[in-house]
Structure 1
Amino acid sequence: MTRKPDLPQLLLDTALTLFAERTYEGTQMPAVAQRAQVGVGSIYRYFPSKEALGNAAFQYAKRTLLDDLTAALADGGPVSTSREEFALLWRGFTRYAGRHHAAFVFLEHQQHDTFLAPESQALAAEVDLFAADFIERGQRSGEIRAGDPQLLVALAFGAFAGLVKHLRPGGIAELPTEALTQTEEAVWALLHREATR
């Protein structure tokens, strides 16, 4: 007996794939239905509008990212330096971008302000605070350079997003371990505060 797929999750996954391929603005509900091989009415049973589907996809993608980052920190055990914590966060990002490539592309390469509901904006702010907290703690310890934490987060995220974009269509999952380590070192160098002599 075959297990019936989780239709809401199938619709979210399908929407994320299409949003990554065509952008949110360039994706119509019938295209989602066709790719998911369901009737358009099936989508509206779970998501009453394109905006509702977009927000659900955004929240799923952001929540999964936050969960992957939190899990990477937990799996790595206690850390004593910002560099060690960065390595764990890098691992979480690479795992997320490898397992959820379409979601990563959707989050990092598109504008979302045209359709985000307050719940989605609050979740985005939670992820931003998570990242800014890492920067601020590193600045207090003297390991991370001075500057606006949000700008430094944008610098590091931008570098990672550029790497993922450069590696399309295979994505970061196809990057050899040695190259992944080199890119981790390069992005850390963007954040690291050099010791003064």
Structure 2
Amino acid sequence: MSDKQESIKQAAIALFAKRGFDGTTVPLVAEEASVGAGTIYRYFENKEVLLNVIMQGEMLRLEQSFKENFPYDRSIREQFSHLFIGLIRFSQENFESIMLINSHTTSRHLSDQTKCDYTSLLTFLSTIVEAGREQEVIDRDLPIEAIVAITFGAVVELAKCFNGGELTLTEDLLETLDEKLWRAIST
């Protein structure tokens, strides 16, 4: 990938995360990336293609981040902790990516492939939750979608607090948050 293409993608991530799809124009992306608008069209057919390319890439990075060193042979509690803490750490290093994913997963501009990639991401999380429900360590009364929403919603809101300086992430706070969230979904 060329430096220009990477600059365009990074600029688009920041702008889509902050302004949304409709509030982001190709000239704005070009200005942010320090390239001409025509350069964007050399790499991306249109703004929708650009959104889909970056959404697919960022969802893949997110999925890889929590699959890395995933404790498949450990307890559901340890697996959940790995996911939650991994999501928090990813959001610390990739705040705009988390905001992009959070705000665009239901966009009418997403391609079937991007929707499929999002479903794959959710399926991995749902598999862990379902296993926890089967082992009776995760609350069966809560729908899986609710548990995933509670977990991801907490990550997004905490990421905003950390990024905005309202909270400082420490290991003690991270452990406490992990324990409190687990209590909210466990039996």
CA RMSD after TM alignment: 2.0
Q: Given the alignment of the two structures, is residue 155 of structure 1 paired with residue 150 of structure 2, yes or no?
A: yes
Residue correspondence of structure 1 range 6-85 to structure 2 within 5 A: 6-73=3-70, 77=71, 79-85=73-79
- Structure 2 Cα separation of the partners of residues 138 and 130 of structure 1: 13
TM-score under structure 1 normalisation? 0.87
1:130 pairs, out of 116, 124, 127, with: 124
- Structure 2 Cα separation of the partners of residues 144 and 93 of structure 1: 19
What is the CA distance between 1:6 and its match in structure 2? 2.5
What per-residue deviation string (whole Å, max 9, x for no partner) do you get for residues 155-197 of structure 1? 211122121123333598x51221121111111112111xxxx
Amino acid at match of 1:86: F
- Structure 2 Cα separation of the partners of residues 52 and 171 of structure 1: 35
CA contact under 8 A between 1:145 and 1:191: conserved in structure 2? yes
> Number of paired residues?
186
What per-residue deviation string (whole Å, max 9, x for no partner) do you get for residues 37-84 of structure 1? 0111111111110100111111111111111011141xxx55431111
TM-score under structure 2 normalisation? 0.91
Residue 87 of structure 2 is matched in structure 1 by 93
- Structure 2 Cα separation of the partners of residues 192 and 59 of structure 1: 31
What per-residue deviation string (whole Å, max 9, x for no partner) do you get for residues 70-127 of structure 1? 1141xxx554311111111123212211221101011113464220000000001101
What is the CA distance between 1:30 and its match in structure 2? 0.6
**Identity %, equivalent residues:** 26
The range that moved more, 87-96 or 57-66, is 87-96
